[in-house]
Amino acid sequence: MATKLSNRCRLIKPSPTLSLSAKAKEMKDAGIDVISFSVGEPDFPTPDYIKNAAHKAIDANYTRYTNNAGILELRQAICDKLLRDNDLKYSPKEILVSPGAKASIVNALTAVCDVKDQVLMGAPYWVSYPYQVALANAEPIYIPTKEEDGYKIQAAELEIAIQENPCTKALILNSPGNPTGAVYTKEELAALAEICIKYDILVISDEIYERLVYDDVKHISIASISEEMKQRTIVINGVSKAYAMTGWRLGYAAGPANIIATAGKVQEHSTSCVNSITQYACVTALNEEDDSIEKMRQEFSVRRDFLYNELKKIPHISCFKPQGAFYIMPGIKWYLENNNQNIQTSDDFCAKLLDKYSVALVPGSSFGMEGTVRFSYANSMENIKEGISRFASFLQELNPGR
């Protein structure tokens, strides 16, 4: 018997970043020297002070179910962090701790969206946003952004999108952004906030890369623009990226108490609480931070500079210098239009690159930006040097007369 699958789930495709990472691992296991720039995961170990806190939690037998929303000590630590770093005042009842920022976003969308609601997002977008919106029975709507605008939504474009989509319920905003590394300024956020307030639009502000900004760039949360905007914002954050804790699975949402309570009910009947050991370790991560986090950020900055400079040396490659996160998204459109191997799409390009040169990149089509590819420089400098060399060789092969 062939059971009919739900319409929303039949539209969902596997995550290309996880799929490429899995394929690269299979090739490595087969003895192939693969360099993967696909998955967004720090290559550093979790700092010792956090691991030590986890050991202490195990020894103290903190191994049982916790409050669904998270232990009070952790929710208070998150409140303290938001006040200290973002000038945002929350109470523990306005915090929901979830198994990763992904779950935080899904919980929030499920809490606020109904059938026929529309959720706006800039393109390029993180690969999971459209599917998360679809899982909430809403419709994703894309606002194209341009490299010359730093891949950031412009206020005028946001207003047009809202006017053209009268069922708009929310805007997903990602700063620092994946896949481009774009970071919104306070002035840009204020302009967007004005439009959101005017049309009573909720903002889901994904700030998971908050700590990873470079040069003189400063991260600003749109919730800090005004109290009125704060009441229309759900801040999403977590420990995966900045603290090198991807496998620990802890994210959180901060927002209006009624939305957080409803998102908590969603979580009660899906994943339930985050594992207790991670929660206690994260109390220490937020309250007792040492210099290891800043050292990781500095190393990412060095890698970014090297990779960006090497990409700029390659003929016909366009490249926006990322201001945050650990991704860079060069344009390869010229090579798609001028190559000797009938490669026409970024998917074809990445498949051929992996097959012939054992380098794994994510095609821009996965982010709604055909004609580009994404590198993650959460990788060793040794791998970055070898990987960019192979990438350049591949382009030379595609068009020797460039």
Which DSSP string do the residues of 85-110 spell out, in sequence order? HH-----GGGEEEESSHHHHHHHHHH
What fold is seen in the domain 48-287? Aspartate Aminotransferase; domain 2 (3.40.640)
Nearest-angstrom CA–CA distance, 119 and 171: 6
**Per-residue pLDDT, 186:** 98
Residues spanned by CATH 3.40.640.10 within the chain? 48-287
Confidence band of 10 (pLDDT split at 50, 70, 90): confident
Q: With both helix axes pointing from N to C terminus, report the angle between 155-164 and 186-198 in degrees, rounded to the nearest 10.
A: 20
pLDDT tens digits for 79-116? 999 999 999 999 999 999 999 999 999 999 999 999 99
User: Residue 309 pLDDT more than 80?
Assistant: yes
List phi, psi (to 5°) of 97. Answer: -90, 130
C-alpha torsion angle, residues 321, 230, 204, 253 (rounded to 10): 100
Check if the beta carbon of residue 150 is closer than 8 Å to that of residue 182: yes
Nearest-angstrom CA–CA distance, 79 and 377: 31
Which token pair is 297? 């950020």
Nearest-angstrom CA–CA distance, 311 and 219: 26
Confidence band of 8 (pLDDT split at 50, 70, 90): confident
Q: What is the 8-class DSSP label of residue 4?
A: P
Helix (H) or strand (E) holding 363: strand 362-363
**Per-residue pLDDT, 341:** 95
Nearest-angstrom CA–CA distance, 101 and 208: 7
pLDDT tens digits for 181-226? 999 999 999 999 999 999 999 999 999 999 999 999 999 999 999 9
CA-based radius of gyration for the chain: 21
Q: Which CATH superfamily is domain 7-45+292-398 in?
A: Aspartate Aminotransferase, domain 1 (3.90.1150.10)
Confidence band of 27 (pLDDT split at 50, 70, 90): confident
Confidence band of 1 (pLDDT split at 50, 70, 90): low
Confidence band of 17 (pLDDT split at 50, 70, 90): low
Which amino acid type is present at position 332? I
**Per-residue pLDDT, 106:** 98
